[in-house]
Amino acid sequence: MKMHAFQICCLTGFISAFTCVLSYGQEAPPIPLVAHRDANGIAIEYRLGVQGEFSQAGGLKISWVDDNGPCQWMRAEQGNGYSALQVGDTILSVDDTILRTLDQTRKLVTQGAIDNSGTVRVTVVDETTKRRSRYIVSPTRLKFLPEAKRKIPENIRASGVRMIIVGQSSDPDIGVAVETSVGKLISLLEFDRNRIVNRDLMPFGESVALPELKEIALLTGDQAAAGTIVQTIRNMNVQPTEAFVFFYFGHGAFRPNAQPDDPSGGHYFAMRNTTGSDLPRTVVAKEIWKKGARLSVLISDSCNVEAPIVSPYYPPQDSYSGDNWALGNLFLDHAGGIDINSASRNSFGWADDGTGLWFTHAFCQVADPTKYGDADFVGWGTFLMHVASVSDAYFQERKRGAPNNQALSEQENLLPEAFNISLIRTDGKNY
């Protein structure tokens, strides 16, 4: 196993291919072996994103690990460390039951995840040290839709991207930093100002880094309000073949006593000081998922510390030139969903007027395609690990330079928390 030098809080997992998972080397059947269905009658199965062979004594000896999969981020049962499963390691058991067959393993993983809020406990034998260790893993959640309901053609790139950027630019504490980060993101996109929805916040270059970016809404100042955000999402003309991307820059927290079915653990966008109401993250996520895009992305750069929610809003029912191929891979060559915040639980997000919000500073740096050398593809797994590394490295540098800042000194790191990452590549490669 490989120990990670930095941490990302318990990823829900990246969807690997619907085939070639937990198999003996042949493709797994495209229908679930576990008879579990959600409230809408859709078949559900959880996967670990690995391949291997079962030994007679028990256990699955690993021959392949999905590099975007949940076993890349196994959290130690004791302590806060993370490790990555390696080829040659053996998964001995799931929830203390020895693994013996493919069918049994799939049932154990699926039922365990259903019973334990999306996680299972695995015992892994390290190939090198022969040491047994226990980890908590969040398997990938797969929905097996009936063929008639599948609208996304495989092996075809997304037809476009629609985007919303929300920034609390009028906040007295972080407003200038937010403006800086919004400017960096816009410069990264080099978007045509004539297609901006709502208002022209920053100057734009003439070149377009992502020609497929069809529509963008900038909500800053007084427009960064809960009701306006929800209505803007609803007004976006998102097509089933497109990617829908949402960025939030501002204050955040998590409420105590969150509902058990809230995947974010009660995280919300703290907007009370500027617009009067806080906006639960679940409200935003639900509105985004309802648009039916082939890829839905929710990224926030905010704190994630405990604080009571005030007046929560619930809507009425009803800079580069040329082609940024890295962004193209991220937004056009994946299907599924992403929901991630810049700070993990009980951690503050950080910003300054010159740099902007530190996580977004790292995000824009890592999105530079020149940083990937001869790589022919940038996946979300690789990208987010780089963003986490750069974000925390910058945090540590600033921490060392400000020994008298108590809050900065007391925080161990600045690492993102992924509330939901469920993805597949749509170019038909690698999986």
Count of domains forming the chain:
2
Q: Is residue 249 domain-resident? A: yes
Statement to judge: residues 104 and 7 lie in one domain: yes
47-61 pLDDT tens trace: 888 888 888 889 999
The residues, any chain, with a CB within 8 Å of residue 288's CB and separated by 6 or more, are 233, 244, 246, 296, 298
Quote the CA–CA distance of 341 and 338 in Å, as a whole number: 10
pLDDT of residue 138: 83
99 lies in some domain:
yes
For range 188-206, the mean pLDDT: 49
Per-residue confidence (pLDDT) for residue 93, from 0 to 100: 94
Q: Is the pLDDT of residue 253 over 60?
A: yes
DSSP 140-196: EEEEE--GGG--S-TT---S-EEEEEEE-TT-TTTHHHHHHHHHHHHHHHT--GGGE
**Residue 156: inside a domain, yes or no?**
no
Kindly state whether residues 107 and 245 are assigned to the same domain.
no
Cα separation of 167 and 157, whole Å?
30
- The single residue listed with the structure tokens 């960096």 is 184
So what's the pLDDT on residue 143? 59
Domain endpoint, select from 114, 149, 184 = 149
**Mapping DSSP to helix (H, G, I), strand (E, B) and coil, where does residue 215 land?**
strand
Between 155 and 389, the more confident residue is: 389
What are the tens digits of pLDDT across the range 337-374?
889 999 988 999 999 888 899 999 999 988 888 777 65
Q: Is residue 50 part of a domain?
A: yes
- Domain match, 187 and 106 both: no
**175 CB contacts (<8 Å, ≥6 apart)?**
168, 169
pLDDT value for 21: 28
Residues 265 and 414 grouped into a single domain: yes
Q: How would residue 63 be classed by pLDDT, with cut points 50, 70 and 90?
A: confident
- 398 with 280, same domain? yes
Whether residue 333 lies inside any domain: the answer is yes
How far is the C-alpha of 134 from the C-alpha of 76, rounded, in Å?
Answer: 6
Same domain (yes/no): 180, 248: yes
Residues 357 and 209 both lie in one domain: yes
- Rounded CA gap, 30 and 144, in Å? 8
- Are residue 224 and residue 352 in the same domain, yes or no? yes
Domain shared by 380 and 254, yes or no: yes
What domain range is 68 assigned to?
2-149
Indicate whether 269 and 413 sit together in one domain.
yes
Whether residue 65 is predicted with pLDDT greater than 60 in this model: the reply is: yes
Predicted pLDDT at 431: 32
Residue 431 lies in a domain: no
Residues 183 and 251 in one domain: yes
Q: Is residue 131 part of a domain?
A: yes
pLDDT exceeds cutoff 70 at 232:
yes
Q: Find the CATH number of the domain harbouring 58.
A: 2.30.42.10
CATH of the domain at 303: 3.40.50.1460
Answer yes or no: are the C-beta atoms of 195 and 185 closer than 8 Å.
no
pLDDT digits (tens, 9 = 90+) for 298-315: 999 999 999 988 888 888
pLDDT of residue 90 exceeding 80, the answer is yes
For residues 183 and 190, is the Cβ–Cβ distance under 8 A?
A: no
Task: Give the domain-ending residue among 149, 173, 199.
Answer: 149
In a domain, 54, yes or no: yes
**Residue 317 and residue 235 in one domain:** yes
Domain boundary among 149, 176, 202: 149
Chain mean pLDDT for the chain:
77
